[in-house]
Amino acid sequence: MKKFPRRNKMIIYGDLLIVLQNSAGPERIVLSQVQTKINVPYDRLKVYIQDLVELGLVEDEVSCKVSEKGLRYIEEYKRVLDFVTRMGLSY
């Protein structure tokens, strides 16, 4: 079985926000699909989404729509990951 490297919370938040942003559409976001994509247990995923709502990165727990602040975080997060990749470091 493939072993996933340990991620810290900020990286999980970044990955989660990107998945939520990509899953956004007219239909409601299915959390079990999100869970599979970012590889965290369902109960932990609910806690992370609560955290994101408290941080103002996601609008609410029902729609899971990424807020303006969340979009800015995604942009910054992608730039930092790009920098780390360009410098030849892994993340």
Partner 1 sequence: MLYTTEHIIIEIISAIACFILVRFMIKPYQLTGKTQYLGLPIGFGFLGVSYTVSTIVYSFFNFPELGWVQLFVRGFAFLVLAITYFFSKAEKNARLLWKIILALLAIIFVVMTLLVTVVSPQVSLEDYRLSYFVIRTFSLFSLGYIIIHTLRNNRTDAKTVASSLGFVLLAIEQYSQLIWVVDASYFALFGGLTFRLGSLAVFLYITYKALYGKRDDQNN
Phi, psi of 26 (to 5 degrees): -65, -30
Q: Segment contacting partner 1 (CB under 8 A): 31-39, 55-63, 64-72, 79-87?
A: 79-87
Given 25, 41, 54, 86, the residue binding partner 1 (CB under 8 A): 86
> Closer CB to partner 1, residue 34 or residue 73?
73
Taking the complex as a whole, how short is the minimal distance between the CB of residue 30 and partner 1, in angstroms? 24
Q: How far apart are CA 40 and CA 53, in angstroms?
A: 18
Q: Judged by CB under 8 A, does residue 5 bind partner 1?
A: yes
Whether the CB-CB separation of 12 and 23 falls below 8 Å is answered with no
DSSP H helix total and E strand total for the chain = 4, 0
Q: Judged by CB under 8 A, does residue 87 bind partner 1?
A: yes
